[in-house]
Chains A and B, each alone.
Chain A
Amino acid sequence: MKPALVVVGNGMAGMRTVEELLKFDPRHYDITVFGAEPHGNYNRILLSPVLAGEKTVDDIMLNTREWYEHHGITLHAGDPVERIDRKRRVVRARSGREVRYDRLLLATGSRPFIIPVPGHKLPGVIAFRDIKDVETMLEAARNHRHAVIIGGGLLGLEAANGLQRQGMDVTVVHVTDALMNQQLDKPAAQLLQKALEGKGLRFMLEAQTSEIVGEDRVRAVRFKDGSEIPADLVVMTAGVRPNIALAQQSGLHCERAIVVDDTLQTYDPRVYAVGECVQHRSATFGLVAPIWEQARVCAAHLAGAGHRRYVQQACATRLKVTGVELYSAGDFIGGEDSEDLVLRDARRGVYKRLVLRGNRIAGAVLYGDVQDGPWYFDLIQKRTDISSMRSHLLFGQALCAQAA
């Protein structure tokens, strides 16, 4: 009899690991997958286009139920695991189903952070995490007018754009003075804000939500200064938290997330974890590129190949927010010891900034024209000395090649 692999979490990280594992040895394990959502595996990143009406749910499915069947994988969708008994090596799902494992892979992802202001549990207050949230939003868009997005990060802006495209009147509320402060520096954020304002979105920056007002449904959002704006729908996009409740409950060592080593193994040698729920050398993860790498490494160890090691690498974000091209990578904020190269063409909607440290690129923010992003990313990763091309650098690879 084959050893049993149980995967908790039917999301992108878990299924990518399974796919990588199948590449190594399609018959190594009997695989059982538990998922909280009642679907196959889909590309969560593409929920925004679904909300905006550009794609359908079918378009974003990664692995259909047929795929699971074809590979002999047992899928329990819509049945989240609620307990892990590590002594008996058994998981128990909400339905009461128990499955024994030889290896367990935790891919529980993250859950949205709901700011615990009064009224946060009112109907009409949701996050933007899964297909159900999208359905709720589409429903609201059909029946209501005012949407308020709390949290002006990438996800919030995508939600705002989607809801606006669905006909809602959208205000984005953000606690700091610049949008997308995780991915953009302030000038880029201001350009973005201006561009989105041009499309009809409204923004309230440095705004502290004090209460969500309503009786049987949300009616308004109130701020610390006492002012109020009408809201029929509130979408909380104020960040996510690694989903570690299950791991903690089962006694696995967690800090901010489930702590794993370079093989993605947790403190229990039979239990592995990948994705947004893990913490590797004090870092947690949200972008897709490092998670794909985790999946690759983890699968190798699950397959018993044991020849890979997970190494963190600088990440680049290439984003497209409602038609605006953005690219950021590395340390794009900089500090006392860094130097900046900056280019602005406001009319054309272009902003580029490179942060240099010791004749090397430490980070890059590109707005509007991201063509050279991968090249800069490559230079960051290779730690290339750029002093000889410094004066051409920001004008792109073509010119640097021409000038060399």
Chain B
Amino acid sequence: MNLSQDHLAVRTTCAYCGVGCGVKATPRADGGFDIAGDADHPANAGRLCVKGSALGETIGLEGRLLYPQLREQGALRRASWDEALDRVADKWQSIIAEHGPDAVAFYVSGQLLTEDYYVANKLMKGYIGSANIDTNSRLCMSSAVAAHKRAFGEDVVPVCYDDLELADMIVLVGSNAAWCHPILFQRIARIREQRPGVKLVVIDPRRTATCELADLHLPVKPGTDVWLFNGLLNYLAKRGAANAAFVATHTLGLDDALAVADLEPEAVAKACKLNLDDLLGFYESFAATEKVITGFSMGVNQSSAGTDKANSIINCHLLTGRIGKPGMGPFSLTGQPNAMGGREVGGLANMLAAHLDIDKAAHREAVQTFWASPRIADKPGLKAVDLFQAIEAGRVKAVWIIATNPIVSLPDADQARRALQKCELVVASDIVQDTDTNAFAHVLLPALGWGEKDGTVTNSERRISRQRAFLPAPGEARADWRILAQFAQRMGYAGFDYESPQQIFAEHARLTAFRNTPQELPRVLDIGGLAKLGAAAYDALEPVQWPLKAEDESQQGSARLFGDGHFSHPDGRARFIAAAPRLPVNERDEDYPFALNTGRVRDQWHTMTRTGRAPKLSEHIPESFVDMHPQDALLSGVREGELARVTTQWGAMVARVQHGGGIARGSVFIPIHWNGQTASDARVGALVNPAVCPVSGEPEFKHTPVRVERFPVKWHGFILSRADVNLGGVAHWTRAQGRGFARYELAGRNSIEDFGLWAKSLLGVNGDDADWLEYADRSEGMYRAVHIVDDRIEQCIFVSSRPDLPARSWLAGLFGKEMLDDADRAGLLAGRAIAQGEDAGPAVCSCFGVGRNTICGAIREQDLKSVAQVTACVKAGGNCGSCVPELKKLLAETLAEAAAES
């Protein structure tokens, strides 16, 4: 009998990065869902990265926020929707009445669907009359937006993913695509297999996983990208590589740009701390290769010179006319699933809607007319960092935070915390009950999560895809657009009587086409062709790239833009931007001698509220770390594997020291994901300086001066426990989700008198008759205990005065057993199988759970020479391929070791 559930599969879009991969969710008989790549989606053609593959592990209801709640006398209580929304509406009305519309604000998210974003923006700018709506996209790609607007006259990404496959050279700047945009990176990797001549150049201060596949890695000094690209502009101009006809006909401002770019390669190499030959190699290749894509991401955007960095890149493409044609162009790789969609509907404080500008009266008039709204914001609102400063200063008295976690993710995050502590009314719409931010909310509103919500997102290549629901709404959770519309109606506003996301989408589509003629308010963004979709057509909408004008008969959308040399500035010409290079705002000094760089790790996403639930994703990197050069560690008095306190002028945190081998002296790297829910003290946001790019308002996440010191502890330990453990009294802890258990890494500064008593009280084990195994070597400060309930392992705790604890993997595996056998039991306190069986080592391939030792062993014993052979042998790398760079590295290392030994 054929039990295929295929016909029940729902096609949707991944919840994570801006690649926007299509996902197929197929119900299983057990109530779960099989998650697979959608073979028909053009972004990924069926492939998914490890995060996307694990989406099915993240849709359970544990920890979900399911009912509206109100905080009274410090404690939350359940409330009805009516009561909660009335409370918010009353408060907003009184604040607006007393202090004006700029005293309230929305802080929203690139996780929202376009329809949600549209309603929030319309409500704020057209009805409340303020532009105080900003988004976490401000922290992500607002510099790219600003650069696009300056260069092209509109926030338009001119290229598409297929161009990556048509290019002869791909330059990735400030992008660890191997980890952050894995499917795009896999496309690059595959095309290089087919066409080995395609060059890959990676420009990044760190030697990331992305560099493992690169022909050339330029480890620029942090913050010096503008020198590099100004130098390139100068080199191209002097080498005669300019496309004079294109420049003359379609651009303005080259002379000014060249005037500030007068840098010889020698000077660039010095400023950027690069090897001159490598630099010239890059310049020559760039000059000689017509089909070049320059992909850029957070390493460019998250800078106090972020907009200039992006423009210095775009300048080089304008000079060579390499834009709008197949296989070439500047390419902003966005971080969030719907950063682009948010931009389309104006979800940033300095935009209006549908690519219309807030500072132009004709634009304001057009939008207000279209909305028939009572008012229209006439000046930009507060950008993210300014917004939270205004909240702390008391100028903004009510903030509604939707689908984001600013106390973790904003720079100077302790300031954000102070702001929310002082704020009169904090409303949080979220899908999770406990977050660092929700702890300060006066009103908690349950929203729909991925798999439940319904609407559209736009990816990095302007492709609009449907996110479709395949799960019922849990508890009393509601879609964000519905919450906002119901709130708007309580505020007494007409124009929010939506009944479906399709109605909102249609309105948005009409607005993009509104007065969008060459004679009126021409914009590239025009999806008038989608305005007439009925409910059924909207449901069935296939991924399509904008623009898609109503009069476009093919209705195919546009793969690439500006091919005709016509840009969005009124004169149709693109602009060179004179970007004078400047250093980061806060420079290193004696007290803070290292530059902190922040970023993602491969298997986690943002503040881990979703990826943190997937055991598969916790295995790769289970806790926060500070990656630094061994020499810097030595100077700072810290050692690999031990804890360090990392301090800046703004805040401090604790992380484990790591020598990843990819970081130059003078810099350290800390991941962004860990927060108050997953660790005692690991919010890197608290360290980040609040300097922003003056043009885009994007913060300088990639450069904060820091100091690293020992974090002395008396003992180290870990707990694996089926139930969550309250570790309030422990100096340092991190939580990672395992399969059937929570894993805690611990360290303490207290002396423990009676280990047994202490451990039992920590783990909540009562009574002498508990099945409790223990091992103690008191004078070494070593203690181990395991708690068994009904022949299953319930909890275990391992403590040592030195960080020499056994690997967690064998013990972790026991949580999957319904009954421990004698051999298991004998090994419990040793933390490993006592009979045979090898330690697989830390997980490298999360998909197949293949450990480092297994891989290195296979390489040595089977004499493997290529990643393909490794995959054939131990499966690692055979699914998502995210670990292929690491496999390459392991292969190289192992072969080098073998060569050295022989």
Q: Does the CB pair B776–A342 fall under 8 Å? A: yes
Residues of B within 8 A of A70 (CB): none
Q: Does the CB pair A345–B773 fall under 8 Å? A: yes
Cα(A392)–Cα(B829), bound, Å? 10
Q: Which among A340, A346, A395, A398 is the interface contact of B829 at CB below 8 angstroms?
A: A395
Cα(A67)–Cα(B368), bound, Å? 121
Q: Does the CB pair A341–B771 fall under 8 Å? A: no
Q: Does A286 contact B (CB under 8 A)?
A: no
Q: From B780, which residue of chain A is reached at the shortest CB distance?
A: A390
Q: Does A394 contact B (CB under 8 A)?
A: yes
Q: Does B536 contact A (CB under 8 A)?
A: no
Q: Does the CB pair A340–B776 fall under 8 Å? A: yes
- Distance of B824 from chain A, by nearest CB (Å): 12
Task: Count A-B contacts at CB 8 Å.
Answer: 57
Residues of A within 8 A of B827 (CB): 395
Q: Does B753 contact A (CB under 8 A)?
A: no
Cα(A346)–Cα(B767), bound, Å? 13
Q: Does the CB pair A347–B788 fall under 8 Å? A: yes
Interface size class of B (residues with CB under 8 A): 20 to 34
Q: From B768, which residue of chain A is reached at the shortest CB distance?
A: A346
Q: Does A65 contact B (CB under 8 A)?
A: no
Cα(A342)–Cα(B777), bound, Å? 6
Q: Does the CB pair A344–B774 fall under 8 Å? A: yes
A358-404 with Cβ < 8 A to chain B: 390-392, 394-396, 398-399, 402
Residues of A within 8 A of B782 (CB): 391
Q: Which among B775, B780, B788 is the interface contact of A343 at CB below 8 angstroms?
A: B775
Q: Does A87 contact B (CB under 8 A)?
A: no
Q: Does the CB pair B835–A347 fall under 8 Å? A: no
Residues of B within 8 A of A390 (CB): 777, 780
Q: Given the known inter-chain contacts A391-B782, A391-B804, please indicate yes or no for A396 contacting B777, CB distance below 8 A.
A: no
B800-826 with Cβ < 8 A to chain A: 804, 825
Q: Does A30 contact B (CB under 8 A)?
A: no
Q: Does the CB pair B834–A396 fall under 8 Å? A: yes
Cα(A325)–Cα(B778), bound, Å? 26
Q: Given the known inter-chain contacts A342-B776, A391-B804, please indicate yes or no for A398 contacting B834, CB distance below 8 A.
A: yes
Q: From A352, which residue of chain B is reached at the shortest CB distance?
A: B775
Cα(A344)–Cα(B774), bound, Å? 5
Cα(A345)–Cα(B824), bound, Å? 13
- Distance of A387 from chain B, by nearest CB (Å): 10
Residues of A within 8 A of B540 (CB): none
- Distance of B772 from chain A, by nearest CB (Å): 7
- Distance of A202 from chain B, by nearest CB (Å): 20
Q: Does B517 contact A (CB under 8 A)?
A: no
Residues of B within 8 A of A348 (CB): 773, 825
Please classify the interface of chain A as helix (H, G, I), strand (E, B), loop, or mixed, using the class held by over half of its residues: mixed
Q: Given the known inter-chain contacts A348-B825, A391-B804, please indicate yes or no for A340 contacting B777, CB distance below 8 A.
A: yes
Q: Does B830 contact A (CB under 8 A)?
A: yes
Cα(A344)–Cα(B756), bound, Å? 11
Q: Does the CB pair A343–B774 fall under 8 Å? A: yes
Q: Does the CB pair A340–B778 fall under 8 Å? A: yes
Residues of B within 8 A of A342 (CB): 774-778
Q: From A393, which residue of chain B is reached at the shortest CB distance?
A: B777
Cα(A343)–Cα(B826), bound, Å? 11
Q: Which among A341, A346, A396 is the interface contact of B772 at CB below 8 angstroms?
A: A346
Residues of B within 8 A of A341 (CB): 775-777
Q: Does A211 contact B (CB under 8 A)?
A: no
- Distance of A222 from chain B, by nearest CB (Å): 33
Q: Does B779 contact A (CB under 8 A)?
A: yes
Q: Does A82 contact B (CB under 8 A)?
A: no
Q: From A342, which residue of chain B is reached at the shortest CB distance?
A: B776
Cα(A240)–Cα(B780), bound, Å? 40
Cα(A75)–Cα(B452), bound, Å? 97
Residues of A within 8 A of B771 (CB): 346-347
Q: Does A339 contact B (CB under 8 A)?
A: yes
Q: Does the CB pair B779–A339 fall under 8 Å? A: yes
Q: Does the CB pair A339–B773 fall under 8 Å? A: no
A322-344 vs B, CB cutoff 8 Å, 1 = contact: the mask equals 00000000000000000111111
Interface centre among A339, A340, A391 (most CB of B within 10 A): A391
B772-804 vs A, CB cutoff 8 Å, 1 = contact: the mask equals 111111111010000010000000000000001
Q: Does the CB pair A343–B778 fall under 8 Å? A: no
Cα(A339)–Cα(B776), bound, Å? 11
Q: Does the CB pair B776–A395 fall under 8 Å? A: no
- Distance of B853 from chain A, by nearest CB (Å): 14
Cα(A30)–Cα(B773), bound, Å? 61
Q: Does the CB pair B778–A399 fall under 8 Å? A: no
Interface centre among B779, B788, B830 (most CB of A within 10 A): B830
Q: From A344, which residue of chain B is reached at the shortest CB distance?
A: B774
Q: Does the CB pair A394–B775 fall under 8 Å? A: yes
- Distance of A344 from chain B, by nearest CB (Å): 5
Cα(A348)–Cα(B776), bound, Å? 17
Cα(A346)–Cα(B771), bound, Å? 7
A131-159 vs B, CB cutoff 8 Å, 1 = contact: the mask equals 00000000000000000000000000000
Cα(A233)–Cα(B788), bound, Å? 43
Q: From A343, which residue of chain B is reached at the shortest CB distance?
A: B775
Q: Does the CB pair A392–B777 fall under 8 Å? A: no
- Distance of B759 from chain A, by nearest CB (Å): 12
Residues of A within 8 A of B778 (CB): 339-340, 342
Q: Does the CB pair B834–A343 fall under 8 Å? A: no
Q: Does the CB pair B775–A392 fall under 8 Å? A: no
Residues of A within 8 A of B788 (CB): 347
- Distance of A364 from chain B, by nearest CB (Å): 14
Residues of B within 8 A of A394 (CB): 775, 777
Residues of A within 8 A of B777 (CB): 339-342, 390-391, 394
Q: Which among A344, A391, A398 is the interface contact of B835 at CB below 8 angstroms?
A: A398
Residues of A within 8 A of B772 (CB): 344, 346-347
Q: From B777, which residue of chain A is reached at the shortest CB distance?
A: A341
Cα(A342)–Cα(B835), bound, Å? 21
B550-595 with Cβ < 8 A to chain A: none
Q: From A394, which residue of chain B is reached at the shortest CB distance?
A: B775
Q: From A350, which residue of chain B is reached at the shortest CB distance?
A: B773
Residues of B within 8 A of A391 (CB): 777, 780, 782, 804
Q: Which among A339, A346, A395 is the interface contact of B834 at CB below 8 angstroms?
A: A395
Q: From B832, which residue of chain A is reached at the shortest CB distance?
A: A399
Residues of A within 8 A of B834 (CB): 395-396, 398-399, 402
**Other than the known A339-B777, A348-B773, what 6 A-B pairs have Cβ atoms closer than 8 Å?**
A340-B776, A343-B829, A346-B773, A347-B771, A391-B777, A394-B775
**21 A-B residue pairs with CB within 8 Å:** A339-B779, A339-B780, A340-B777, A341-B776, A342-B774, A342-B775, A342-B776, A343-B829, A345-B773, A348-B773, A348-B825, A391-B782, A392-B830, A394-B775, A394-B777, A395-B829, A395-B830, A395-B834, A396-B834, A399-B830, A399-B834
State the A residues within 8 Å of B (CB). Answer: 339-348, 390-392, 394-396, 398-399, 402
A-B complex: 4 closest residue pairs judged by Cβ atoms: A395-B830, A339-B779, A345-B773, A347-B771
State the B residues within 8 Å of A (CB). Answer: 771-780, 782, 788, 804, 825, 827, 829-830, 832, 834-835
